[in-house]
Amino acid sequence: MSYETITLEVDGNVATLTLNRPEAANAMNPLMARELSRAAIVCDEDPAIRAVIVTGSGRMFCAGGDLGEFAEAGDARPALIKEMAGDLHMGISRLTRMTAPVIAAVNGTAAGAGFSLAVAADLAISADNARYVMAYTNAGLSPDGSSTYFLPRRVGDRRARELMLTNRMLKADEAMAWGLVNEVVPAEELMTRAKDLATELAAGPTLAFGEVKSLLNASFDNGLETQMELESRAISRMSGTADGAEGIAAFLEKRGARLRGSLTEW
């Protein structure tokens, strides 16, 4: 499948999805949102893909929505944005619900939809020169891209409100201190670190990783007993997989586990 605004490269069991409009600061337009959604489905459907990296080309991760295209739409703007947000949200949903872990490798400024995309990832590694800003209300707009769901879960309600209402810009080290990113590395080392982490995760128990994602995403919406029931069902299900049997045996035999992460081994 060919793309105009993104690239999707698969190396071994790791897919790298790159926002690729560097001349426009990787701003999200309707075509990029559609292509992001399509690429997310490709990653979700391919059992060989066991980790995904999301990054940007050039100096910025993503500057948010393409306000120029919004302005050109005139009276059709609400319909255009509704369609674009729907495609973006479908892509984020697929990345969130897929079993493979998703790593945001934030190579530069993440604003608006870029901030949202970084926050939605399972793990985030930041270049030391990256900056983070919600930016939506600066343009008289409200947040999208799952940020009102994930941001309070990452940093708490008070800080989420501060970021959305004041458009405070965070430097990389501040973003790490707030819990927005897991790690900050020198910009020139970003992709090496992201690929090393993705390779490590891709060699792990992909099915179990998927259950971790599902359980954590549900945990804020469930009561204690409901969440524990989901945990019981998940760990029971995982014990019946090939990876579960191998992991238990490897632990008892004091050796490294050979985990396949196969979606067909139930």
Residues carrying an active site annotation: 89, 144
Nearest by Cα to 151 from 187, 113, 125: 113
Q: Residue 46 CB: number of other CB atoms within 10 A?
A: 15
Give the CA angle between residues 216, 226, 243 to the nearest 5°.
Answer: 55
Burial class (CB in 10 A: 0-12, 13-18, 19+), 62: buried
Give residues with Cβ within 8 angstroms of 26, minimum separation 6: 19, 20, 56, 57, 58, 60, 61, 62, 63, 114
Query: 15 near 43, Cβ under 8 Å?
Result: yes
DSSP summary character for residue 193: H
Cα distances (angstroms) measured from residue 166 to each of 61, 124, 161, 170: 21, 23, 8, 12
Structural element, H or E, at residue 116: helix 113-120
Strand, coil or helix: 132: strand
